[in-house]
Structure 1
Amino acid sequence: MKNKFLTLLILLTICISIVGCNKSENNKKITQNNPKNTKETAHTHFKFEEYGLEYDLPKTWIKYKDKKQLDIDIYDNTESKEYLIAQIKYGFLSAKDINKLMKLGKNAKTQEAQMKFLLEYENSIKKICSIVVFDKNKENINQREELFSKYDNHEQLKTNENLEYYILYNKKYDLSGLSENDKKEYKEICESINDLKKSIKISKPITQKEKFDKYKTVSFKTKTTDGKEIDSSIFKNYKLTMINMWETSCGPCIKELPDIQKLYDEVKKENINIIGIVMDLYIDKDSENLKLAKKILNENGVKYTNIIPNKELIDGLLKDIIGAPTTIFVDNKGNIVGQTIVGSRSKENYLEEINKILKNLK
């Protein structure tokens, strides 16, 4: 799973198919649900409970984050059985590169232009550091050496049960292609890595299952994206309901919508329902995201019901979601049943889980 929540608004101009999801069992792509699941406070404090990591951005970094010059790239692999659990990469973008990328992004209408934009974006980033988390029980020397080769300094942080934590950075930074002012800004960021290291806290990881175990049922009274009143009593009309929680800024979420619609067309004949919860909408606000959500649903041919979360959902179930998309299942009484699925899946994967649940419901 790779989550890239870029600080640049130009990400919105990228075609969703370019940042589509890998639907293999061991490499699912998700988007961090910020701020709800990382508990990002004022965009300066990050907490990743799924791998027991917490830290504050250095004060000198915050102004560059606000200016969109701090790039954050998160690779999350907590559900696989691989050595690398997570990698959080920080990079720097000069003001000149941001302006150039903004123009490229706005004009990226074709797939070729979008690929050019992404390549240009990656090439423009100057490395700051990486925080990596390994599962020491699945040690892979080659993978570790490949990661370490990109940085000349590798400091191990506190270990936690079977996990190892490292911070990787360069003592000598690549200043090529930067103006004198850019060099000064880049140096200022790189020289503040010690402040980042001091703030890092390691704790016991909490899985999505552990976070969801306290929820036995799903309840809501809200509106659909079409403005119709809806509440959780609809569950009683179906023997099983699949609930797919997604965000308008999440490429993998949007990528799987057509597959979920095909699944809905197939299972509704068996009295099985599917609803979506658009996590970045709010029932008490006239959000521009609602227009975007409706546009996304329309463009992907989605006919099944999608709802706007009310306060009960936001303060409850959605607060404890690790990443988007996340999918759960409820029976006709609203009880959560089966496995919680984090990350995108194919129609066949979802159908397999549905059939498994139906056997247990009999």
Structure 2
Amino acid sequence: MKKLFYALLILISNFLYCQNNFEIDLSSDSYINDSLMLGAPATRNGFGELYTFKIQTNNNISDFGKKIRMKHSIYYFKIQKKNIASGFTEYPQPVAFGYMGKNGKAGYSTKVFFLEGGKYKIDLPKDFNNVELNIDSPTNREYKILQKSLEPFYIKSKNPYQGDSLINIDKKQEFLGEYIRKNPNSYVALWEIVNDYTLNDYHPAYLKNLHLFSAKFKQNALYKGVEARLNAEQSTSIGQKIPDIYFENGNKLTSEDFKKYKLTFIDYWSTTCAPCIKSMPEIVNLYHEYKGQNVNFITITDEQKPNRMEVARNILKKNNADWINFFDVNKDFQKKVNATSYPLHFIIDENGKIIARISNSIEEARAVIKEFLQ
């Protein structure tokens, strides 16, 4: 009986694995001996781990994401007359084919389509910018229907290199909520919430709509990942208390640290973020403006490699940033507050309560500090 149980378990596992296998038969005569990439569309920092499809590599297919240590999946294809790519995806995932622009020309990509189990025959023309690929699979059929239904919520872009403009996020999320009630197991709807968050920042309706999915659907890895990230942001929105954060070498930031000051200004940044470095002198000016009024300044740097940490120290030193800097080596800050972009500024009061959560605006931070102190 025990042997029979294990045999059935292996059969079920193999069946599920086969359901999630895919094969892409790609042809694109215009790009033979050139390179195309297949990967996730635009992603938020911290969301890359949700894009986890895998493709078997060979002489003509390389794992570019792994090479540059990106969290989300992206593969390079050196195009031949015939290109067969075999892979695995845990759940349906949005992807697009893209081409990196050369000689100063802009890059471009196809419209998004979904990878799921099955076989795909794709022929890319020379000019495939914003081209919709006609892929006949359950998730892609649903995706096309939903996108058609969402057209009234957008102003169509006349620029082929720019996306359409969303008119009203509230109305769209209201519509999406009704759609989820009728389709409580829809991966397409869940990815649409992720897409809205990526392009339009956080909105309370995202979590409200998440709760409409079926109990069974809520057990899948994608749902849990999205929910955890949105819960982290909701729990660290204005009026909430910031959680204890643990950094490198036993360093930490807890409620006791905030009690020493009227306000604490936190700047979350990275050495790869040009706006972060550009705004550093403005933060230094803000520091000198308010350091005598019991306002504390802290930077949290999203770097984990020793060489990048040294670059960060040099940038801080060059700008005379005379305050405490922490390195988010464990990604504890990023995960607990769902920090998905740089620069991100928090203003915390003496009780550890979040007064402001600001994306890239020192002037807004200055106004909040001034008003609070008055």
TM-score relative to the length of structure 2: 0.47
Which of structures 1 and 2 has the bigger CA Rg? 2
The higher relative CO (CA closer than 8 Å, separation ≥ 6) is in 1
